Structure 1
Amino acid sequence: MGKSTGFMEYERQTLRERDPETRTKDWEDYTVPLSEEEVQEQGARCMDCGVPTCHSGMELNGVTTGCPVYHLIPEWNDLVYRGQWKEALKKEHEMNNFPEFTGFACPAPCEGACVLGINEPPVAIRTVERSIIEKGFDEGWVVPEPPEKRTGKKVAVVGSGPAGLAAAAQLNKAGHWVTVYERNDRVGGLLTYGIPEMKLPYSVVERRVNILKEEGIKFMTNTEVGRDYPISRLREEYDTVVLCGGATVPRNIEVDGRNLKGVHYAMDFLHSNTKSLLDSNHEDGNYISAKDKDVIVIGGGDTGTDCMATSMRHNCKSLTQFDIYDKKGSVRDNEVNPWPQYPVIHRVEYGQKEAEAAFGDDPRAYAVMTKKFVGDENGRIKEVHTVNVSLSYDENGNKVRTEIPGTEKVWSADLVLLAIGFTGPEQDLIEKLGVETTVRTNVAAQYGKYTTNIDGVFAAGDMRRGQSLIVWAINEGREVARECDRYMMGTTQLP
């Protein structure tokens, strides 16, 4: 695959980034595409390894490695290298309904499993993936493909995030009539309101949704099943129901002062920002603003980074991100984190680059634990009190964090954003349907089967597996469609 000597001739090149100081003045995509020739060179780096592992998603040491949708990565790398872009697009769509979503917002566990990555920078898989689909749209190759025949069966998909969209796309392809219910005013779930505009533009989501509509899928927005749309009616009108509502209950932090004004969940901050931006370019003022504020983001993951980048575009006064973990090394530790595990290394993401360009230093504080919030006489946050911690493990392998005496610190804060993950799905609809849950409150449904205890009701994505990656959601959406189709028809041709 690719050019036999390509990995020796060409260096790894990912999408370029716009200047950090200028891009924070707008909400446009912060990246710049490579030229076709440059992308072909990246495809040429795919090294015809004997046993490729990039395309086989699995979990090693609790972290995803390889591609959960089993993308035909070596094949479309080779096709791009040879300039056969349309054929590469077909290969891309064989295993992934939405390569643009993963191309924009996936952390690329495929690259962590790239064989070349054992001793060289891995193939820039995500860059090639995104370049293929964007060229496909630019050339007009991505067009609606409605099914030739309809089965007469009707399916309700609850939730329009990546799992729901993938399930709907596949079930529609099988000829069923599919209606997707979304409680927000726009389709996309996490894709629309959980990932900010400069990272995943809504236009990218909208153009795919428009294709799905032309293929025959019906979308019901501003409709919350169980409140706006009765459960009884849902079961009467549809042959099957697929639950893809996500894991949207945010993890809280139990410290004094948690209820002070100015302490918000990350998703409330991101959601209100994107909605106001799309509705009125922020002119309506219906969002949580970081303008001229000392902002502290608690949480070192992607959501925390998105909060930082959003705060930068609000023109915050200062910005700090708390990470409970120590600063990682710049290269993987092969003893505790060997290939093909996803490399656990120090990374500087787009939000951190922007803060460093503005304020001069890495905005992160490592091994920091929040002790309490302190407010002013009006009940607004003014300080965050922290202490540094060391990490160890007990005899059962559980994490133990020990406070380090003398490391106590007080931070000024006007806005605190909690980006420490999610605990599971909301329970109201689950309880009304009578669906059983696991000890972690996720819908109880076996991976690969997706059936719940209620006949004809299926579940997939984060609502079933808990907080996870977009690419896992697409995987489960595709697979639940297969099992739902089999349930209704007795057999299935879906992959």
Structure 2
Amino acid sequence: MGKVTGFLEFQRLQEAAEAPANRLKHYKEFVLHLTDDQARQQGARCMDCGIPFCNTACPVNNIIPDWNDLVYRQDWSRALDVLHSTNNFPEFTGRVCPAPCEAACTLNINDAPVGIKSIEHAIIDKGWQEGWVKPQVPRIKTGKSVAVVGSGPSGLACAQQLARAGHAVTVFEKSDRIGGLLRYGIPDFKMEKSHIDRRVSQMELEGVAFRTSTFVGSAEDAALFGQGLSTVTPAQLEAEFDAVVIAGGSEAPRDLNIPGRELQGVHFAMDFLRQQNKVVAGDKLPGQTTAAGKKVVVIGGGDTGSDCVGTSNRQGAKSVVQFELMPQPPEVENRELTWPYWPARLRTSSSHEEGCDRDWGVTTKSFKGKNGKLTALECARVEWVRDEATGQMKMNEIEGSVFDVPADLVFFAMGFVSPVQKVLDAFGVERDGRGNARANTDDYRTNRDKVFAAGDMRRGQSLVVWAIREGRQCAASVDAWLMGSTTLPR
């Protein structure tokens, strides 16, 4: 490494961010990337540890020590090349990835890990600023065509890789804009959509065609997802294209069917977030669900729940409460037991810092209302005990712990159970026990000839970085199937 004693000399530096009171007034990004000097210093903290566990903890296997060293030497252009060699969209992961690489950093055994995510963020932003990110147009066309269903990170990564291999790629998206859950699932204050737009422009120059507002399936099924959608059937895709990749997101949310579920004011989190993203994009939504002046309860303690907290506060919620069914995790993990794996510990997001009451070990028993409108949640505290017979953890309600929480709005942010089943039905694809398309990671092929599956469609709800990995690997499998061999990296 450029400075072998850097980890002894420099402390971890967090990226600067706008103060909560100011950033609540808008929906723009508020985290600033490191300056050149700051990034150089943070790159110097990389230890030359011999076995870079960060590489294998990263789903796309980013070559992290190499670009840390290049940033330390201020060789930004080569650092960008190394970063792009494993990751098509580091501007996405540099903003929204939880950074499992940092949990696996050797320095994390007894100190603060290297700020890998912040360095990645700085590299790609500098690359765009300097004009180094350019279309990679293939010199030779193969004459083969591929349809990609879904334009989230998996579909986009797969499409870009296949286009660069010389194939004619068309991406089909049922929404009115490209990006999948990147577009309508992640709030703009975490990732502005201009990052998607400029990648789409790059991919169009590389030869990728995009068809929005197009549902793959029957017209009857398309009507369930909105008005004005055009349709194309799987049979049409299989006849027109040499290969088809289904790479839609895991969009079926987990429901909570308890008394009062029908009351006005009970919503799925993604419906709420999607509406606000559309408004930020300039759409007019007369019936928008808004938290302005309301008491909000978010059920679910993950990223989607956090996004509901941040959005509710920006809309002017009177109060925001977030419940989690599991017990409160420790503030600091036992690194001797967890490293280099992703630890269970208390994580406080930027949205939580903006204002939120959090509570753990809480279950919701029913929703209460008046005149058809939500007024409160009936909740109870639970404890988790190990079942002696099975060894599994079992949830027990604590006697006498029932309490009510006033609420005008409640959002379900309890995760997603499966991809859109109508699409899998239309293709006749076999499914695993969780309702995902059945395909392995060796070739990503389904039981249907010519049909491949990747991302959430195959593995279920997961991270953006996992979706990118699957899209890249699936592209290599498709290329090898079409051409007999491939030079695309996996």
Coarse TM-score class (shorter-chain normalised):
over 0.9
1:63 aligned partner: none
TM-score normalised by structure 2 residue count: 0.95
Deviation at 1:254, TM superposition (A): 2.1
2:266 aligned partner: 263
Residue 179 of structure 2: which of 161, 180, 188 is its match? 188
Deviation at 1:399, TM superposition (A): 2.6
RMSD over aligned CA atoms reads 1.1
1:388 aligned partner: 381
Say whether 1:209 aligns with 2:208: no
1:83-482, aligned counterparts within 5 Å?
83-227=74-218, 228-280=231-283, 284-334=285-335, 337-355=337-355, 363-377=357-371, 379-394=372-387, 395-482=389-476
For residues 140 and 397 of structure 1, what CA distance do their matches in structure 2 show?
56
For residues 130 and 334 of structure 1, what CA distance do their matches in structure 2 show?
26
Deviation at 1:279, TM superposition (A): 2.1
For residues 23 and 2 of structure 2, what CA distance do their matches in structure 1 show?
34
Deviation at 1:488, TM superposition (A): 0.7
For residues 3 and 287 of structure 1, what CA distance do their matches in structure 2 show?
54
Say whether 1:494 aligns with 2:485: no
Contact persistence 1:445–1:451 (CA under 8 A)? yes
Segments of 4+ moved more than 3 angstroms: 283-286
Deviation at 1:325, TM superposition (A): 1.9
Contact persistence 2:44–2:68 (CA under 8 A)? yes
Q: Deviations over 1:184-232 (max 9, x none)?
A: 0110001110000000100111111111111110000000111311222
Read off the aligned partner of 1:293 and give its amino acid letter: K
Q: Deviations over 1:87-135 (max 9, x none)?
A: 0000000000111110011000000100000000000000000100000
Q: Deviations over 1:253-308 (max 9, x none)?
A: 1211112111111100111110122024xx54442100000000000000100000
Q: Relative to structure 2, which stretch is displaced further, 37-46 or 227-236?
A: 227-236
Give the 3-state SS of the residue equivalent to 2:411 in structure 1.
strand
Q: Relative to structure 2, which stretch is displaced further, 445-454 or 412-421?
A: 445-454
Contact persistence 2:158–2:471 (CA under 8 A)? yes
Residue ranges of structure 2 left out of the alignment (5+ in a row): 219-230
Deviation at 1:493, TM superposition (A): 0.8
For residues 328 and 384 of structure 1, what CA distance do their matches in structure 2 show?
24
Read off the aligned partner of 2:418 and give its amino acid letter: G
Calculate percent identity across the aligned residue pairs.
47
Give the 3-state SS of the residue equivalent to 1:370 in structure 2.
strand
2:15 aligned partner: 15
For residues 191 and 80 of structure 1, what CA distance do their matches in structure 2 show?
28
Q: Relative to structure 2, which stretch is displaced further, 298-307 or 10-19?
A: 10-19
Deviation at 1:326, TM superposition (A): 1.9
Contact persistence 1:2–1:45 (CA under 8 A)? no
Contact persistence 2:275–2:285 (CA under 8 A)? no
For residues 342 and 364 of structure 2, what CA distance do their matches in structure 1 show?
28
Contact persistence 2:146–2:245 (CA under 8 A)? yes
For residues 66 and 335 of structure 2, what CA distance do their matches in structure 1 show?
29
Read off the aligned partner of 2:265 and give its amino acid letter: G
Contact persistence 2:158–2:472 (CA under 8 A)? yes
For residues 347 and 422 of structure 2, what CA distance do their matches in structure 1 show?
38
Deviation at 1:375, TM superposition (A): 1.1
Deviation at 1:467, TM superposition (A): 0.5
